[in-house]
Structure 1
C-alpha cells in the first residue's frame, strides 16, 4: 500500500517494510510512529497508526532510568552498610582476641573475651578464655612456688649467714681479727715482729691445794667466772687475750695492732683484776688471791703448725713476764724496770729491789700500787 500519513504531512510508510516504529517530524518536534495492520473479515482491512512524541517516549525512559539509578544507589548503600556490619560482626571478635592476647602477653591474666555467639568465633573465644584461665592458674602456681622458693632460699641464706657468723665469732674468739683474716686467706705460717709490747701473766695462788678441797665442777665454774671477768676487762681496754693454761692467764697490749699506750692499758687492767678477785672472794666466801707479772719489750707473734692453731708469743720478753708472775707475791703486781720507766709518770710504784730471776740473774723490780687518778679526792 501507498498510504500518506496526514499527520506527517506527506511522509510515506511502505507496508512491505517491517512494521516498526518510524520517525517523523512535526513543527521540528521528533515523533515516533508505529503502523499496525488490523483486519476483521473480508470487508475490514485497516492500518492502525500510533504516533508518540519523542519527548513523551523518552520522559518515561528517563524516569525509569532515574528510578533505576536511585534504586541502584540505595542498593549500593545498603550493600555497603550490610558489608560494614558483617565485617564488624566478624572482625570485632578477632580484634578483641588480638587485644586480649596482647594483654595476656603483658601479664594481665584477668583479661577475657566476651563473644555471645555460637559459631566458630564464639568457640574460639571460649577456648581463649579457658586458655587465659589456665594461664592465670599456672602463673599463680608458679608465683606461689617462686615465693616459696624465695622464702626457702632466704631462710637457708639466713641460716648460712648465722652459721658463718658463729664460725666467724668462734674464729675471732681464738685469733685476733687481723690474724683470722690472714688464716682465711690460706696463709700457712704467720710470724710478725713487734718491737714494743707489754705482756701480763696472772695465776691463782694455791690453786692446786684448792682443787683438792672442792669438786672439779665447782672449781671449773669458779675459774670460768674469774677468767670471764678478765676477758671483759681485756675487751674494755682493747687488749688481746693470748691464752689460759690451767689457772694462768696471759694477755698482751700492742699487737696485732701496735699502740703507744699498751703499757698503761695493761697496768689499768692489772689493777682492776685485783679488785675483781677481791669482789669474787666476798661473793663466794673463798680466799682467792692472784699474782700478776708485767714486762715490756719486743716479741715475735704468730701461728705455727698444722692443727689446733693458737696465736702465741715468743721471745725473752715473754719469759721475763712469766718470771715476774712466778716470783711475785699474792695480791701483788710485779713489773720490770722497762715497764716501770713507761709508767712511773702516771702510776704509783714501790721499788722492790733486786731479785734473782731464773735464767736472768739479779733484776730490779717494782710493785705497781695504784693509779693516782683513780684515788678518791
Structure 2
C-alpha cells in the first residue's frame, strides 16, 4: 500500500511518525529518569534528616549516662546517700498521729487518685497506694501532703524538725538545681538493700516507698533498681525503656540508674527520671518541619522494640482533632484514644508496626516506599539507633503524594506538550513534504547525467515513486562512497589503536586535538614497577616470546580490573600507575592488590609454559609529572622523584617479593602484614622500605 502513495504523503507520514515516536521515547525516558532522580533526592534528604536526628539522640542518651556516672562519684551525692539512709532508718520508730494518717488518706483520695483514674482502667482505692511504714507515713505527711495538690512545689517542709529535715535542707536545693538545669523530671536516692526511696526531688507518691514491697514494686523504677542490683559494678549505668509510671499519673517515663559507692562499699542507688520531652525537643525542635525540608506531611519519630512510638506524633501537635480521628480509623480503642489526649502524648500509645519498623529492628538501614501506620504510602528512611540498653529505631517519613507531587505535575506537563508538538509536527511535515517533492525529479535527472558512460548499471528497486528512481540513480555513487568511508574508518581505528597503545586514553583526545605541549602534574598516584627475572636463561626465542606475551597480557588484564594503567615494558621491567587518568582514593590498596595478582600470574605462566620466571615488585606513592615527549616520534613519559624512587625498589626486592615505601606502609599497615626491609635513597635522605610478609610467594613456585 505504501508503494501507491505519493512521495509527499509518505514524507508527511514519516515526519509525523518520527516526531511522535521520538517524543514518546524521549519523553518516557526523560520522565523515568526524572522520577528516579527526584525520588532518590527525596530519599537522600530524608536519610540526611534521619541521620542527623539519630546522632543527636544517641549523643543525648550517651551524655545522660556519662553525666549520671560522674554524678554518682560526687562527694555531695555520696554524703547525701549515707546521711539520708541513716535519717530514714531513724524515722522507722516515730509515732504517727491518727490525724497524719487521715491527712495522707485524704491526699490520695482527693488529689492523687482522681487524676490517676483518668489514665488507668479499673477502680482505684486508697489502700493500694497509701504508705504503711512509719518512716513512709512520716515523710509523706511532711513532704507530700504539704505540697498538695500540685506536687510540684519546692519539695521542702515547714513542719518537719527531724534530722532528716536538716539533711534535706543541706542537699535539696543542690539536687533541684541539677534537674532543673539539665531538664530531668526527678532524681532519686534509693537504699540498695531494701529499695526504699529515701529521697526524691519532686516528692511524688513514690517518695518514701519501698520498691521491693510497696505499691510501685512492678514499675519501671523498680525494674531499674533490680537491674543495678544484678550488675552492681562501679560506673555501670543501667537504663529502662519508657513505661507508664503511676506516680506520674501513668505518663510514660524512662529511668537511668547507677550504684553509689562510698569507698569499696555500695551505699545506695542514684536514679534519674527521663521524660520523653527531651527526645521530642530533638525530633520536633521548633516545629518548623517545612523549613527542615519535611513539607506538610513529613516527620521524624522513634519506635521501640514493641513497635510503639517513643516520641510525639507531628499530627498530634499540629491537629489534635484530625489525629483523634486517625487513631480511631486505625482501630485503637476509645480508652487508648482518650489516654492520648489526657496525657497529650503518643508515646507508648501509637503503634507503628510497619515494614520499615520491622526492618530497622532487625538491624537494617535503608530507604523504601511503604505503607505507614495509617495505611498511607510514604517514603521512609529508617535505621536502628545505637543505644546501650535500648532497642530503638528512628524513621524519617513523608507522604508519597507530597514527596512525589512534582512528578505528577511533570506527567501533566509532558502530556500537554506532547499534544502541542504533535499538532505542530503535522503542520510542519505538510509544509516540508510539499517543498521537498518539488525538486525530486530534477535530482533524478541530474543523477542520470552523472552516470553517463556506465553500461553495467543494474538497479532493482521495488516501487515506482520518486525515491525509488532516486535510489537507483545514486546506487553506484553511494556504494563507492560507502567503500571509501569503510576504508577511512578502518584506518582511523588502526590509528586510534596505535595511539592508545602509546598514550593513556585521556591524553589521546588532547593529542588528536593538537594540544601542545601535553604535560600533567599527578598529585596522588601509586607507581608500580616490576622486574621479570629468568627470561635470559631460555635460548628459544619462541618460548621466551610466548611466555612473555602471556605474562604481559595477563598483567594488563589485571591492571585494567584494578584501575591501573600500564605504561611500559622494556628491559624486562613493567611499569603501571594507579591514579593517572582517574582519581582513586584507594590507589595504594589497588596498587598492592595488583602486585599480589602479578605474583600469582607469574606462577600461572610458569605452570602453563614450563618456565621458571620470577618477579620483583616495588610500590611507591606520591606526585610526579606525566606528558607527551617528542613531535614526529613521540612517547608518553613519567618523571619525577616518585617515579625515580619506584624504579629503585625492584632492585631491593627478593624474587617474588613486594617492597613498598613509607606512604604505602602508613596507609596499609593495618590491613596487611608488612616487615621492615631496608631503605631507598630519596634526594639526600633515606626513605625506609617494607616488604609484604603474608602473601609472599616462594621463588620458582608454580600453581
User: Smaller-chain TM-score range?
Assistant: 0.5 to 0.7
How far apart in 2 are the matches of 1:282 and 1:369? 23
Corresponding residue number in structure 1 for 2:687: 363
How far apart in 1 are the matches of 2:661 and 2:499? 33
How far apart in 2 are the matches of 1:106 and 1:205? 72
Structure 1 length-normalised TM? 0.57
Q: Does 1:327 align with 2:652?
A: yes
Q: Does 1:345 align with 2:670?
A: yes
How far apart in 1 are the matches of 2:585 and 2:468? 65
How far apart in 2 are the matches of 1:274 and 1:363? 25
Tell whether the 8 Å contact from 1:203 to 1:247 is kept in structure 2 after alignment.
yes
Instruction: Render the CA deviation track for 1:350-374: whole Å, top value 9, x for unaligned.
Output: 2124345486664321112458xxx
How far apart in 2 are the matches of 1:144 and 1:261? 61
How far apart in 1 are the matches of 2:652 and 2:599? 17
Alignment gaps of 5+ in structure 2: 1-437, 442-463, 696-703
Tell whether the 8 Å contact from 2:617 to 2:653 is kept in structure 1 after alignment.
yes
Q: Which has the higher strand share?
A: 1
1:243-258 map, 5 Å? 243-258=568-583
Per-residue deviation, 1:160: 1.9
1:1-377 map, 5 Å? 143-208=471-536, 210=537, 213-346=538-671, 348-355=672-679, 357=681, 362-369=686-693
Measured at CA, do residues 156 and 106 of structure 1 come closer, stay the same or move farther in structure 2, by a change above 3 Å? closer
How far apart in 1 are the matches of 2:683 and 2:548? 30
Tell whether the 8 Å contact from 1:223 to 1:247 is kept in structure 2 after alignment.
no
Measured at CA, do residues 162 and 105 of structure 1 come closer, stay the same or move farther in structure 2, by a change above 3 Å? closer
How far apart in 1 are the matches of 2:521 and 2:562? 22
How far apart in 1 are the matches of 2:522 and 2:581? 8
Instruction: Render the CA deviation track for 1:191-211: whole Å, top value 9, x for unaligned.
Output: 211121100011112433x1x
Per-residue deviation, 1:220: 2.1
How far apart in 2 are the matches of 1:152 and 1:201? 50
Instruction: Render the CA deviation track for 1:170-213: whole Å, top value 9, x for unaligned.
Output: 211221122111111112221211121100011112433x1xx4
How far apart in 1 are the matches of 2:569 and 2:477? 47
How far apart in 1 are the matches of 2:676 and 2:496? 45
CA RMSD of aligned residues (A): 2.8
Measured at CA, do residues 289 and 359 of structure 1 come closer, stay the same or move farther in structure 2, by a change above 3 Å? farther
Corresponding residue number in structure 1 for 2:234: none
Per-residue deviation, 1:293: 0.4
How far apart in 1 are the matches of 2:648 and 2:613? 21
Measured at CA, do residues 105 and 172 of structure 1 come closer, stay the same or move farther in structure 2, by a change above 3 Å? closer
Instruction: Render the CA deviation track for 1:72-107: whole Å, top value 9, x for unaligned.
Output: xxxxxxxxxxxxxxxxxxxxxxxxxxxxxxxx9986
Measured at CA, do residues 279 and 360 of structure 1 come closer, stay the same or move farther in structure 2, by a change above 3 Å? farther
How far apart in 1 are the matches of 2:567 and 2:521? 16
Secondary structure at the counterpart of residue 311 of structure 1:
strand
Deviates more, 1:325-334 or 1:300-309: 300-309
Per-residue deviation, 1:308: 2.5
Per-residue deviation, 1:286: 1.5
Measured at CA, do residues 296 and 106 of structure 1 come closer, stay the same or move farther in structure 2, by a change above 3 Å? closer
Per-residue deviation, 1:288: 0.8
Tell whether the 8 Å contact from 1:194 to 1:299 is kept in structure 2 after alignment.
yes
How far apart in 1 are the matches of 2:647 and 2:439? 79
Tell whether the 8 Å contact from 1:323 to 1:358 is kept in structure 2 after alignment.
no
Alignment gaps of 5+ in structure 1: 1-103, 108-135, 372-377
Corresponding residue number in structure 1 for 2:332: none
Measured at CA, do residues 223 and 360 of structure 1 come closer, stay the same or move farther in structure 2, by a change above 3 Å? farther
Per-residue deviation, 1:317: 0.6
Structure 2 length-normalised TM? 0.31
